[in-house]
Structure 1
């Protein structure tokens, strides 16, 4: 794996140098890096390509077709027949198929209807469906479905990017939480070590009892244990964060140990616009994808509806020995051939069943869409309420931390004048550190909750 070096950071990431020579990975730049180079982002772009290829494939149904036939028979030194034909067929979007051909036939036993002038015979004309297939046929239906799929692929891309945005955001702030907790617990260990050394000196001088050294040492060991757990959590979070970092060549990168996240309490736009999010849910990717499925089913229903109409196919071709003879040719006067074919089932049970099935599928999908919209709106309201509650909890607990800090300060003053015990001081200090860890968790939750409100409304990197 490639290391996330300082050179790359200078190019792509915003960072700041701290007193302890650390580099800060800015959240906004991290998200931009994820959006540009993460494999899921590349997969989302591939969805667009697949949609474009579906349309190209469907348009192939309207490609002109050229053909040629050669059929000859010789027996006992006698030429029975020699038939040659070449032509072109051009389908059109309107359902009319243009065609042109050249025939040159000869032979002693040639079928009279295949007899043409010795120089060959040209024909040019068209065939059209006047019944079934006049409004919609298989080729036009396939193209329309491909166009719908292309539009759906754009929405699918948005959906994938939204999921990537939420996952990357959640991971970053969990990483930031692990880092903040690590710093709090490091501070706690340093205080416990300083207090243990002070108590030990006081005991040696006869000012404190031996049990006080046991109390101080026990607190030091307990905080060292919690620090070790926090170090493991931070390491695991860093490794998970690495899965979101890739370079321009599509290779995974690793964060250097000196790189840290931005602070949980740095200025951050965390106020979602409730009205905007409620309006945005109408364009939620999952609803749009269902709409495109309904549109595709509607094309299928219309195509099946065409099968109830009788098949009526009309063909007409002008005939000439040279191209110049086509000029001024009149319909049904001379040198032409035409044909009409008509057929239809008597009961249409297969066609009517197909139409009924298509309508039932549309009704089923529409009911699913209505339910999905209700579920999405309910989920959004839940996320908005969760953000409101977490925001209130953060404000409340911030005041609580201040109060606990004031109690600790007062308890330490009482201890200094001999009116308190080391046990009470440690208890107050533990409460302060635990409350700071809780405050960190709330700050992290608030940032993740903000991302969840946008995801619930169908938004992401926008």
Structure 2
């Protein structure tokens, strides 16, 4: 029993090391809580609300009109109730109503008189030329729906940019941690060598100035460690803009969560280049804006057409009253109007045509720029991979040379200057390898962003 308790005490006494922070964790946190993405989502909801506002133009409208004559020869009073709903596929509307009148009316207001139980009517107005295919109500609704698509594409543009910066911040933080580890290793080598040098100085095997020179080396390498610690702290703060807790608050990653090596990062799917290019949100935004320009052109062309509306209505009076009002009635009417100069419509048509041409030229330039960016980044990724291989080979050879030179120094067959030169050469080669890997990872991130590879970017 005592042995079991001792094991439990030993288990709980050992500190649990934090799990290394992964890129997937950063991307998931950024996509869920980063304020720029949340702002873009809010703007998308605003666009959705504008669609609801535009659809309100087709709402059922109820009207009531009542009038009475408290003074005068005639004492007639009337009430008129009417409900109107605009048509979704035509510029006209349908309506229904009820009228009721009491008392006496002058002859010139005979249309206000109904039978005892009132008159029920229903009718419709249909546009035959202007407003038949498109009208202001439907145009505003369709433009608002286009704004929703544009807001969604702009949200994706923002999200891709945020995720690209999140990956860059993560990789820079990890690289800073690896540089710090390398500089600490260099400083430890110099400190461990100090005791050996001082013993050799005491024995007369080495000059006393060598101990001073190594202490100078320790100070210089320690300064590199301090600067690297500061850089790591700064990059951790920068990473906290993307790494957040469940409430969306920034989380500064601790140094004990640093991975032991630079992760491979993202791997864009190059076999789907054409598909990804067509799905670029900024390109689709331009396509949506061109579609909106086409819609505005149709609205302007609609204003050039003459208006020809047909109206049909049926009504029926109920109750006691004049026999002339008792039978059901049906009415058909036409209304015609035509703008003569049409300068406003022609001006809008020319304006929209110019806007569409400008958007088309911008789209063409963007497509060409995308092709150039993809080709350049593919070249950079391929070249960076080769440089990583060469830098890694150089770093391995430099480390072997430094280890061999330290053994020779311990045996007295080498001098301090040479062993120090070998160590720093190995450290420089390791730093060049790290920088080459960082450039390769950054090029892959840029390529994933250009391709709008949502899966690679954690979206």
Verify same fold: TM over 0.5. yes
Q: What is the match of residue 344 of structure 1? A: 338
1:277–1:454 contact (8 Å) kept in structure 2: no
Alignment of 1:269-284 (within 5 A): 272-284=268-280
Q: Distance in 2 between matches of 1:262 and 1:100?
A: 77
Q: What is the match of residue 296 of structure 1? A: 292
Q: Distance in 1 between matches of 2:434 and 2:23?
A: 17
- Gap change, CA 1:461 and 1:21, over 3 Å in 2: closer
Q: What is the match of residue 310 of structure 1? A: 306
Q: Which deviates more, 299-308 or 56-65?
A: 56-65
User: Following TM superposition, by how much is the alpha carbon of 1:179 offset from its aligned partner in structure 2, in angstroms?
Assistant: 0.6
Q: Distance in 1 between matches of 2:362 and 2:232?
A: 43
Q: 2:340 aligns to what SS in structure 1?
A: coil
**1:204 aligned residue (202, 205, 223):** 202
Q: What is the match of residue 458 of structure 2? A: 461
Q: Which deviates more, 149-158 or 208-217?
A: 149-158
User: Following TM superposition, by how much is the alpha carbon of 1:73 offset from its aligned partner in structure 2, in angstroms?
Assistant: 3.0
Q: 1:213 aligns to what SS in structure 2?
A: helix
Alignment of 1:25-104 (within 5 A): 25-75=21-71, 78-79=73-74, 81-95=76-90, 96-104=92-100
Q: 1:111 aligns to what SS in structure 2?
A: helix
Alignment of 1:320-335 (within 5 A): 320-322=316-318, 335=329
- Gap change, CA 1:246 and 1:195, over 3 Å in 2: same
Alignment of 1:13-412 (within 5 A): 21-75=17-71, 78-79=73-74, 81-95=76-90, 96-105=92-101, 106-109=103-106, 111-261=109-259, 263-264=261-262, 268=264, 272-322=268-318, 335-412=329-406
1:162–1:461 contact (8 Å) kept in structure 2: no
Q: Distance in 2 between matches of 1:52 and 1:158?
A: 16
Q: Distance in 1 between matches of 2:287 and 2:22?
A: 38
Cα deviations by residue, 1:379-418 (Å, 9 ceiling, x for unpaired): 2222222212211111110011122123223433443454
Q: 1:345 aligns to what SS in structure 2?
A: coil
- Gap change, CA 1:295 and 1:450, over 3 Å in 2: same
Q: Distance in 1 between matches of 2:133 and 2:275?
A: 37
2:374–2:450 contact (8 Å) kept in structure 1: yes
1:124–1:317 contact (8 Å) kept in structure 2: yes
2:84–2:96 contact (8 Å) kept in structure 1: yes
Q: 1:74 aligns to what SS in structure 2?
A: coil
Q: 1:253 aligns to what SS in structure 2?
A: coil
1:120–1:321 contact (8 Å) kept in structure 2: yes
Greater strand content: 1
Q: Which deviates more, 359-368 or 23-32?
A: 23-32
Q: Which deviates more, 429-438 or 286-295?
A: 429-438
- TM-score normalised over the length of structure 2: 0.88
Q: 2:69 aligns to what SS in structure 1?
A: strand
Q: Distance in 1 between matches of 2:16 and 2:387?
A: 32
Q: Distance in 1 between matches of 2:62 and 2:261?
A: 69
Q: What is the match of residue 442 of structure 1? A: 436
2:97–2:122 contact (8 Å) kept in structure 1: yes
- TM-score normalised over the length of structure 1: 0.87
- Gap change, CA 1:416 and 1:148, over 3 Å in 2: same
Cα deviations by residue, 1:207-252 (Å, 9 ceiling, x for unpaired): 1112212221121111011111000000111111112122233333
Q: Distance in 1 between matches of 2:415 and 2:104?
A: 124
Q: 1:23 aligns to what SS in structure 2?
A: coil
Q: Distance in 2 between matches of 1:380 and 1:206?
A: 65
User: Following TM superposition, by how much is the alpha carbon of 1:75 offset from its aligned partner in structure 2, in angstroms?
Assistant: 2.3
2:178–2:260 contact (8 Å) kept in structure 1: no
- Gap change, CA 1:279 and 1:123, over 3 Å in 2: closer
User: Following TM superposition, by how much is the alpha carbon of 1:374 offset from its aligned partner in structure 2, in angstroms?
Assistant: 1.0
1:89–1:99 contact (8 Å) kept in structure 2: yes
Q: CA RMSD in A?
A: 2.4
User: Following TM superposition, by how much is the alpha carbon of 1:419 offset from its aligned partner in structure 2, in angstroms?
Assistant: 4.2
Structure 1, unmatched stretches of 5+, are: 1-17, 324-332
User: Following TM superposition, by how much is the alpha carbon of 1:376 offset from its aligned partner in structure 2, in angstroms?
Assistant: 1.9
Structure 2, unmatched stretches of 5+, are: 1-13, 320-326
- Gap change, CA 1:19 and 1:278, over 3 Å in 2: farther
User: Following TM superposition, by how much is the alpha carbon of 1:354 offset from its aligned partner in structure 2, in angstroms?
Assistant: 1.4
User: Following TM superposition, by how much is the alpha carbon of 1:290 offset from its aligned partner in structure 2, in angstroms?
Assistant: 0.4
1:25–1:262 contact (8 Å) kept in structure 2: no
The count of aligned residue pairs is 433
Q: Which deviates more, 170-179 or 334-343?
A: 334-343
Q: 1:101 aligns to what SS in structure 2?
A: strand
